[in-house]
Amino acid sequence: MNLTCQKISMNFDPKGLNALKGFSAEFIKGHRTAVVGPSGAGKTTLLAILAGVRLPDSGTVNLPSKKICFISQEFNLPKDLTADQLFDSITKSRDDKRYLVEVFHLQSKVHKPIETLSTGQKSRVYLVSKLLARPEWILMDEPFAHLDRPLQRVLEAELNEVMTEWNLSLILVTHQLEQAYEWAHDLVFISDGICRYQGPAKKFYTDPPETLSALFSGPANLIASQVLKKHGDYLVIKNSLGEFRLPSKSELNARDGVKFVYLLIRPEMIRLADSGILAEVQQILFQGVTLELTVRTQEGTQLLVKLWSYSKSFQLGEKVFLELDKESFSLLPI
């Protein structure tokens, strides 16, 4: 059974800061769901309400199970115990303990005092101590924020193995979109206490519902465009980059007399070519695997372009030709 919440509202002060405002969402059993949004959007408040730590001012939460495990950013572990002693105080199941110790690679650490372990090892001990209670739902609030991304990925893989084996459900609050995209099946986007998007994590990036989601979901070029005409489910638009015939969203199709829309172009949808749109390189950002160029066309349109870092060297002021991957473009309401 899924976990649902309906029209949850909660205010902490008269200004409504860090509030939830009629928030509704459904979290699918057996899925990993990431909850993302800007600071102060209400993510941690939502998680606390779902975990039963806080009560909302209004609205309802349907908890399919009382076996809920809440994992916070800060964890307190007893310093005077070994990991093995801690685990024995939680469960009598030797099979569960043996399985989790092996998955999280703690075989050589369980007999050592917890205070002597590294930060990563303590994180593993903390996760095992929570999982030994055999929860059905795991609610996590930035649990690996204190760890570097490579170690985060290792812990995610280890936890995912347990979740798959025991058919656990996860709701993860994170500020890292990379983590959300890599690990989550579904994604919930909160802004100003309102659910702006709920659906597949990949679709949040490839087909965001509106401009706020588009800007938050990753680097984006939003080009204001004039609607020339409508052909069924397609719109013919024109802007400084040219004229395009593109499929439009249902909410745009339902509107009469739409005159302007945004054309969404992700930086990786723009390629360098031998001919095409002439532009000048204005900024170069080396990002390891990729380069992000800021270029300006002859018509004055500024664009972000994402390339493999080993593809070519660039100089500020250099002239380049751009080719557009028009098949990947999408339209958003203004």
The pLDDT assigned to 295 comes to 98
The pLDDT assigned to 255 comes to 66
The pLDDT assigned to 215 comes to 95
Measured between alpha carbons, how far is 143 from 145 in angstroms, rounded to an integer? Answer: 6
Q: Per-residue pLDDT averaged across 294-312, rounded? A: 93
Between vectors from CA 248 to CA 244 and to CA 253, what angle results, nearest 5°? Answer: 125
Identity of the residue numbered 196? R
More confident residue, 110 or 17: 110
34 has pLDDT over 80:
yes
Residue 141, beta-bridge partner list: 173
Q: Residue 142 — pLDDT band, cuts 50, 70, 90?
A: confident
Q: Does domain 219-333 have CATH number 2.40.50.140?
A: yes
The pLDDT assigned to 249 comes to 74
Helix (H) or strand (E) run with residue 106 in it? none
Q: Are 205 and 33 in contact (CB under 8 A)?
A: no
For the chain, the structural domain boundaries read 3-206, 219-333
Q: Per-residue pLDDT averaged across 221-237, rounded? A: 91
The pLDDT assigned to 76 comes to 81
Cβ atoms within 10 A of the Cβ of 66, count?
Answer: 9
The pLDDT assigned to 233 comes to 84
Q: Output the average pLDDT for the chain.
A: 91
Give how far Cα 17 sits from Cα of 5, 40, 249, Å. Answer: 21, 7, 32
The pLDDT assigned to 251 comes to 67
Q: Per-residue pLDDT averaged across 315-328, rounded? A: 94
Q: What DSSP character marks residue 42?
A: S
Q: Per-residue pLDDT averaged across 310-323, rounded? A: 92
The pLDDT assigned to 149 comes to 86
Measured between alpha carbons, how far is 191 from 26 in angstroms, rounded to an integer? Answer: 17
The pLDDT assigned to 160 comes to 92
16 has pLDDT over 60:
no
Percent of the chain at pLDDT > 90 equals 70
Backbone angles phi, psi at 58, to 5 degrees: -155, 165
The pLDDT assigned to 79 comes to 83
Strand order in the sheet with 277-287: 270-273, 319-324, 277-287, 290-297, 302-308
Same fold, 3-206 and 219-333: no
- Residue 114: Cβ-neighbour burial (10 angstroms; 0-12, 13-18, 19+): buried
Q: What DSSP character marks residue 113?
A: B
What is the 3-class SS of 210-258, one letter each residue? CHHHHHHCCCCEEEEEEEEEEECCEEEEEECCEEEEEECCHHHHCCCCC
The pLDDT assigned to 2 comes to 92
Percent of the chain at pLDDT > 70 equals 96
140 has pLDDT over 60:
yes
What is the 3-class SS of 56-82, one letter each residue? CCEEEEECCCCCEEEECCCCCCCCCCE
Q: Could you give the 3-state DSSP secondary structure of residue 27? A: strand
Q: What fold characterizes domain 3-206? A: Rossmann fold (3.40.50)
Q: Per-residue pLDDT averaged across 280-295, rounded? A: 95
Q: Per-residue pLDDT averaged across 59-77, rounded? A: 85
111 has pLDDT over 60:
yes
203-219 pLDDT, tens per residue?
A: 999 999 999 999 999 99
